[in-house]
Amino acid sequence: MICYDEPLFRPPSEAYSLILQITLGCSWNKCTFCDMYTTKKFRPRPFKDIEREINHVADSYPGIEKIFLADGDALVLSNSRLIPILNRINEKFKGLKQITSYATPQNILNKPLSDLKELKSAGLKMIYYGVESGDPVILKKIQKGATHDEIKQGIIKAREAGIKVSTTNLLGIAGLKYSNEHAINTAKLLSDANPEYISYLMVMFPLGDGRFISAFGDDYAPIDQRGLLCELKTTLEHLEVKNSIIRANHASNYLPIKAVFPQDKYKTINFITEVINAPTSPLIRPEYLRGL
């Protein structure tokens, strides 16, 4: 039906969505913690190929309600390329409820606000947005390609256009030495930007950590399980948002968390504290169940 260019990735919440590869790979592809697209050379896909896939799937499964635009960098495309794709999707899937995509700070900041509003009107409801860290030192060490302020402004700009933002924030990415600053500065960025969804993942290196450590420097020391839970607690303690859905239930996390802040803030922090003080708690996810 669709011949995907592997590897193919999607957010966990898009498990039941149709995935359309609009671009292949990632145009930045320099973040040292991410090996998702290191085997691919970035390139946009021809409209005729995308259109053929849309037509074929719509004829077979016209009731599809959610579509995710892959790979990691679909929004790097200009609106002159994106809008025809979105229009074709809307023409073929009459029951469609939402279109989503990954997005980088560069994607959002490089587009005029009017372009983002046009994308929203064409059906782009939400973006998955990598914050990773709010700490300036860590952002340079992981080669994120954006500053604290740029990442924050990207969230604010997308929300101003009416596009919901789901952020990804990495626990453990700063190592032991910078853990506290990383937690506090990430919480500050998120508090200032107030995205609708805030997701925490714990950093893992399934293909090895050599590339990451080479760029980070010899002052990186991995954080143990207790330290990662403490880092999560610290960032949540400093998080001041309104009506944000908080999730730390990705498979990489030791302790699944679901909450809405501010109403669940202190209950969540107390829960994490109890587990930190009970290291053999059955609530802690065992290593063999963790993964990316």
Cis amide bond preceding 44, omega within 30? no
Percent over 70 (pLDDT), the chain: 99
CA dist., res. 213 & res. 234, Å (int): 24
* Among the listed residues 249, 236, 250, 252, the one whose alpha carbon sits nearest the alpha carbon of residue 287: 252
Q: Which two tokens stand for residue 269?
A: 């922090």
Helix axes 179-193, 148-160, angle to 10 degrees: 30
Which element (helix H / strand E) includes 68? strand 66-70
**Predicted TM-score of the model (pTM):** 0.95
pLDDT tens digit sequence for 183-200: 999 999 999 999 999 999
The CATH class for the domain spanning 12-278 reads: alpha beta
pLDDT tens digit sequence for 87-112: 999 999 999 999 999 999 999 999 99
CA dist., res. 199 & res. 249, Å (int): 8
Strand partners, 166: 128, 197
Domain extents in the chain = 12-278
